[in-house]
Structure 1
Amino acid sequence: MPKALPVVDVSSPICCTPVSAGPISDEAALHLALRLKALADPTRIRLVSILLTAGAGEVCTCDLATGVDLAESTVSHHLSQLRKAGMVVSERRGMNVYHRARAESLDALRVVLDPNCCT
Structure 2
Amino acid sequence: MKLDYELYAKIFKALSDQNRLKIIDILSCGEKCACNILENFNFTQPTLSHHMKVLIDCKIVKCRKDGLWSYYSLDKNNTNKIALFLMNIITDTEDCICKINSSINKCEIQNKK
| TM-score when normalising by structure 1 | 0.69
- What code does the residue aligned with 1:51 have? L
User: Which of residues 23, 48, 55 in structure 2 aligns to 1:75?
Assistant: 48
Contact 1:48–1:101 (CA under 8 A) maintained in structure 2: yes
Larger relative CO (CA 8 A, sep 6+): 1 or 2?
1
Alignment match, 1:64: 37
Distance apart, 1:45 and its partner CA: 0.2
What's 1:48 paired with? Answer: 24
- Map Cα deviations across residues 44-97 of structure 1 (whole Å, 9 max, x no partner): 0000000012xxx21111111112232111111101000000000001111110
Quick one: distance in 2 between partners of 1:58 and 1:71? Answer: 20
Which 5+ residue runs of structure 1 have no aligned equivalent?
1-15, 18-23
Deviation string 1:5-27 (CA, Å, 9 cap, x unpaired) is xxxxxxxxxxx55xxxxxx5xxx
Q: Distance in 2 between matches of 1:87 and 1:77?
A: 14
Alignment correspondent of 1:90: 63
Judging by fraction of residues, say which structure has more helix. Answer: 2
Which stretches of structure 1, 4 residues or longer, exceed 6 Å deviation after superposition? none
Partner amino acid, structure 1, of 2:48: V
Q: Which residue of 2 aligns with 1:13?
A: none
Q: Partner residue of 1:36?
A: 12
State the secondary structure of the residue aligned to 1:92.
strand
Residue type at the aligned position of 1:35: I
Q: How many residues align?
A: 90
CA–CA distance in structure 1, aligned partners of residues 21 and 6 of structure 2: 20
Structure number, greater radius of gyration: 2
Letter in structure 2 aligned against 1:83: I
